[in-house]
């Protein structure tokens, strides 16, 4: 498993360029999110994970990974693109600080394997949030990942993370957006 698969983050709301085109390193435009999850999009199924207390849409055909820890993962048929949903509790001071700590640790332990595209503080559904997009070197290729975290200090931090081969990164952004938009916490 890659270094980035251990990264924690969660849901927030982002706009993408018309047509889904994005330039690495460009700051994303953030807009106010809806307070409730959107309906399950076409081509997706709703998954409820009682261990984490969350529900979220997953594309048809994506398979749940073998669970060895708290996060839950889903991969598409090639196994190269991965969706990870996780919860960290209790949360620290802010998801942005959490991401900065993870990034510093990654640079220390895996020098040259990571490149930040952008990271910023925002809100998601009225809670403090952060978003982080980066590339990292896997065993055979470079991957692009986007990670979102939201929480209030001392509560649970929710994480939505998607990685895909860098050459396919833009193609998987709509998948991330749909999972994020349909994500719901505190379901049991």
The pLDDT value recorded for residue 35 is 63
Residue 26 token pair:
């460009």
| 143 confidence band (pLDDT: 50, 70, 90) | very high
The pLDDT value recorded for residue 37 is 78
80-111 residue pLDDT tens: 999 999 998 888 889 999 999 999 999 999 98
Q: Are 72 and 66 in contact (CB under 8 A)?
A: no
Residue range 156-179: mean pLDDT, rounded: 91
Q: Are 10 and 150 in contact (CB under 8 A)?
A: yes
61-79 residue pLDDT tens: 999 988 777 899 999 999 9
| 1 confidence band (pLDDT: 50, 70, 90) | very low
**How far out from the chain centre does Cα 14 lie?**
12
118-134 residue pLDDT tens: 999 999 988 999 999 99
118-138: b or e for each residue (b if 16 or more CB lie within 10 Å)? ebbebebbebbbbbbbbbbbb
- pLDDT higher than threshold 60 for residue 44: yes
The pLDDT value recorded for residue 136 is 94
Cβ of 165: how many Cβ atoms within 10 Å?
17
């Amino acid at each position: 498993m890659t270094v980035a698969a251990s990264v924690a983050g969660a849901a927030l709301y982002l706009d993408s360029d018309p047509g889904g085109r994005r330039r690495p390193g460009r700051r994303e435009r953030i807009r106010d999110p809806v307070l409730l999850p959107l309906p399950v999009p076409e081509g997706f199924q709703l998954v409820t994970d009682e261990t984490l207390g969350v529900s979220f849409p997953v594309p048809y055909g994506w398979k749940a990974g073998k669970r060895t820890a708290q996060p839950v993962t889903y991969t598409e048929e090639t196994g190269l693109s991965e969706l990870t949903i996780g919860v960290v509790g209790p949360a620290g001071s802010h998801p942005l600080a959490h991401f900065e700590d993870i990034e510093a640790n990654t640079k220390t332990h895996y020098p040259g394997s990571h490149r930040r595209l952008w990271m910023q503080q925002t809100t998601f559904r009225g809670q403090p949030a952060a978003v982080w997009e980066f590339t990292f070197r896997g065993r055979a290729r470079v991957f692009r990942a986007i990670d979102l975290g939201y929480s209030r200090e001392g509560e649970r931090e929710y994480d939505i993370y998607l990685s895909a081969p860098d050459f396919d990164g833009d193609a998987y952004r709509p998948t991330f957006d749909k999972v994020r938009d349909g994500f719901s916490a505190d379901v049991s």
